[in-house]
Amino acid sequence: MKIKVGFGFDVHQLKDNHPFIVGGVDLQHHKGAFGHSDADVLLHAICDALLGAANLRDIGFHFKNTDPRWKGISSIVILKETVKLIAEKGWSIGNIDAMLCLEAPKINPHIPAMQQNIAAAIGMDIEDISIKATTNETMGFIGREEGVVAYAVCLIERPR
C-alpha cells in the first residue's frame, strides 16, 4: 500500500451581514466569510490537503475564482469534485484532521454536523474526520474578527 500525506491552508475575510458557511453548516453570526464560492474555509483547506497529497496542485488551479461556474457554489460540490480528481489517480482517503482558528462563533456545537456533511460528501465514516477549533486569543486579524483560518492534513492511500 502506498500512502501520502497532504497539508492544506485557507483564509477568508469576514464581513458584516454575510453568510458564514463552515463545513457545510450555516453558522448564524453577525459576520461571515467572503469569497468567490460560498467561502467555506474548512472545506477549502481540506480540498487543498487532498489535492496536494495526490500531487494535483491546489484548489485555485482546479476551481479558479475567475470562473463563473464556481461563483457562489457550495464548497461541498468542490469537495466532491476534488474527491473525484484524486480517485481518478487511484487514491482513496484514509483520514482527515482539520483545525479552525476564529474568535466567534463557538464551533464545538457544530462539529458533528460538519463531520456528517463531509462524510456524506466523500463517502467516509465520521470517525475518520477530525475537526477542532481554537481562537487566536484576540490577537491579529483573527482576534479582531477580520478573518478566519483553517488548516487540514489528510492521508491518502492506494495499492502499489
34 is in an annotated binding site: no
Please tell me whether 65 is known to bind a ligand.
yes
Q: Which three cell numbers stand for residue 94?
A: 484514509
Residue 59 in marked binding region: yes
Domain count, the chain: 1
Residue 81 is labelled as binding a ligand: no
Residue 118 annotated as part of some ligand binding site: no
* pLDDT, tens digit only, all 160 positions of the chain: 999 999 999 999 999 999 999 999 999 999 999 999 999 999 999 999 999 999 999 999 999 888 888 888 999 999 999 999 999 999 999 999 999 999 999 999 999 999 999 999 999 999 999 999 999 999 999 999 999 999 999 999 999 8
CATH number at residue 95: 3.30.1330.50
So what's the pLDDT on residue 68? 85
Distance of CA 85 to the CA centre of its chain: 16
Ligand-binding annotation for 63, yes or no, is yes
Structural domain including 135 reads 2-158
Q: Exposed, middle or buried, 115 (CB in 10 Å: 0-12/13-18/19+)? A: buried
Judge whether 67 is annotated as a binding position: yes
Is 103 annotated as ligand-binding? no
Does residue 141 have a known ligand-binding role?
A: yes
22 known ligand binder? no
Confidence (pLDDT) at 70:
85
pTM of whole model > 0.75?
Answer: yes
Residue 30 assigned to a binding site: no
Specify whether the CB–CB gap between 57 and 64 falls below 8 A: no
Distances (CA, A) of 122 to 37, 116, 118: 19, 10, 6
29 in a known ligand binding site:
no
